[in-house]
Amino acid sequence: MGIFKGTRRQGRRGVAHALVTAAAAGGLLVVAAPAAQASDDYPWAWQGQCPIVPQEPIEEPTPTAPPTPTPGPATPGPATPGPGPGTPGAPATPAVEPPPPPPPVLDPVTGHLYDPRGPKPTCARRVWSIGGSIGDPWGFVLRNCTSFVAWRLHERNHLTGFSNSFRGRHWGNAANWDDVARSLGYRVDSVPAIGAVAQTDSGRVGHVAWVSAIGPGTVTVEEYNHALPGGYGTRTVPVSDFRYLHLDDVAPSPYVGSDRPLVAVPDGLGESWTARVDDAGTLRVARPGREARVVGRPGGFSRLAAPALAVDAHRRPWLAATTADGRVLAGTLRGTRFVLRPVAGAAATSSPAVALSRTGRPVVAATSADGTLTTRRLTRAGRWSRPERVGRPGSWSTHAAPVLGHDVAGRTWLVAVTVGGTTWARGLERGRLVRLPGATASATSTPALSLAQDGTAYLHQVGADGRLLVRTLHAGRWGRPEALPGRWSVYGSPAVRVVGGQLVVAATDAGGAVQVRSAVPGRRTHFTARVRSTGDPTASPAVVTRARSGVFVVVGEGPRTGRARLLTRPAAALVRDSSPTRAGFTS
């Protein structure tokens, strides 16, 4: 626990931890994300002394004399001259001396020497002093959780200015850290990242730890002064055990929701344009019937955010993608090449959205690294408009991408999720932000906005409790959500597409398997299937239509690998492995 002189805040403010409860409850204890090196390199490990509880003195045993032998019966033989024991002139019997006491042993926890014949000393307070000082160079108490995390932020995060008075605020006990971080504008949420500070108010003064690894529904932390007084430890616990302070993360969480093996958009002729960012950060785009081609600088795009595609009335594709350095590039074909221009800043974990407005010109939406959502439009003059901010700055999830879509009247709608899991929608042609009714949404799952053949617009998104929620949009009004059966991954994003005249959804369940079923609650479809589980709850699927090959569900297996699963052919409904050679998304 962290101990430092300071005022403990009154009360405890709750935080939405339901985000990962469903994933953890579903038994997702499988492979963790790449971890930072875990070792106890804290400079003051096992140094210093703590005040100890007074111990009972150990009583030394007193010397004892040997017992006097009892005379036995006489035996024949000559008498032995000389006095016997106990008679005058007999030699004295020496006392038996006890063994010398063992040498004292140093207890590394308390820093005190103790007699190994007695109990180990116990710290009366978890405060260690070295040379009369209990404070480290940053103003925290030695061998406490706050001191260790300060060391980690300096040594691993390279946040060299961090101290107990960082940015003019007193950080104090661990229970205060989340409030101080929020007041300074840092993101505090329920989504871990490598190098983030894991914080809880539990205990007398709270506790902080350093995130070294992230798994599906779990987080591994390094810490001091938790299970071992004044000592180092690691443990893997459900993500919901902590809230996370993002002061200067080493790497974002790999469980980001907006990532997909590829994105696809129909071209209106039964084919699909496809785009993906491979594991090297290279953006590849394939036109219908052609092989994928590299767009932009190889290795220049974020591996944690999927690109976005839209096709205009002239079947011309518009592309938007997030770069590795946090920019959104957008553009279209000029001849045979995509010409992309920077249009916004973006979080490395959030995909942009692109759609065509009523006028036929593209609109791009993006969420910046600090959680600010903006839109930009292409003007008649062929220039991008000034950014238009949507909602409150810093309030939007950087792990779930905004989405753009249309209703039956052709109006363009923007839907986005806040850091707290609230879903908002806005008609871009006219209207204001509207909070959609219903349960809290997952802040790591991107919704899907689609239009069925009957003219009904549907919004599919995963709730924080693992339910797959469906809302309808009629005449500009949103209905209350209904849930599709099953338990779904809060990290995966659903894909919705019209197949054979019916609206189907492909989504990842809590066990990492991709399920395909009717996208409309209460409606049955023969396009129901379960694609073999990848064991990865973040494996968001994609749906690709091929005029001569059927409809494919594409799932990532392994590092950014797109594997195609054939959902159906025009003449029959079946599920089997397929190896398309011209779909543009094979690895």
Average pLDDT of the chain, as a whole number: 83
State which H helix or E strand residue 22 sits in: helix 21-25
- Rounded to an integer, the average pLDDT of 252-262 is 80
Q: Which residues of 424-458 are buried (b: 16+ CB within 10 A; e: fewer)?
A: bbbbbeeeeeeebebebbbbbbbbbbbbbeeebbb
Q: How far is CA 567 from CA 35, 265, 290, 307, 515, in A?
A: 36, 17, 21, 24, 11
Question: What are phi and psi for residue 554, nearest 5 degrees?
Answer: -110, 130
**253 within 8 A of 220, measured Cβ to Cβ:** no
Residues with Cβ within 8 Å of residue 72, at least 6 apart in sequence: none
pLDDT at 213 over 70: yes
Please tell me the number of Cα atoms within 13 Å of 465 on its side-chain side: 9
**Residues 275, 311 contacting (CB under 8 angstroms):** no
Q: What is the pLDDT of residues 490-514, one digit of tens each?
A: 889 999 988 878 899 999 998 888 8
* Domains in the chain, CATH or no CATH each: 18-50+125-246 (3.90.1720.10), 263-491 (2.120.10.10)
Q: Give the single-character DSSP code of 361.
A: -
Query: What residue has token string 């024949």?
Result: 76
| pLDDT band for position 420 (cuts 50, 70, 90) | confident
CB of 275 closer than 8 Å to CB of 319: yes
> Residue 192: which of 210, 171, 174 has the closest Cα?
210
Under 8 Å between Cβ of 164 and 136: no
Q: Does residue 108 register a pLDDT over 50?
A: yes
Least confident of 266-270, 501-505, 556-560: 556-560
- Report yes or no: 587 and 330 within 8 Å, Cβ to Cβ: no
Count of alpha carbons within 13 Å of 306, Cβ hemisphere only? 34
pLDDT at 388 over 90: yes
If pLDDT is split at 50, 70 and 90, which confidence band does 25 have?
Answer: very low
Q: Can you give the pLDDT at residue 93?
A: 61
Residue at 468: amino acid letter: L
**CB-hemisphere CA count at 13 Å for 118?**
17
CB 206 within 8 A of CB 173: yes
Cα separation, 228 vs 107, whole angstroms: 13
Q: What is the pTM of this model?
A: 0.69
Coil, helix or strand at residue 343: strand
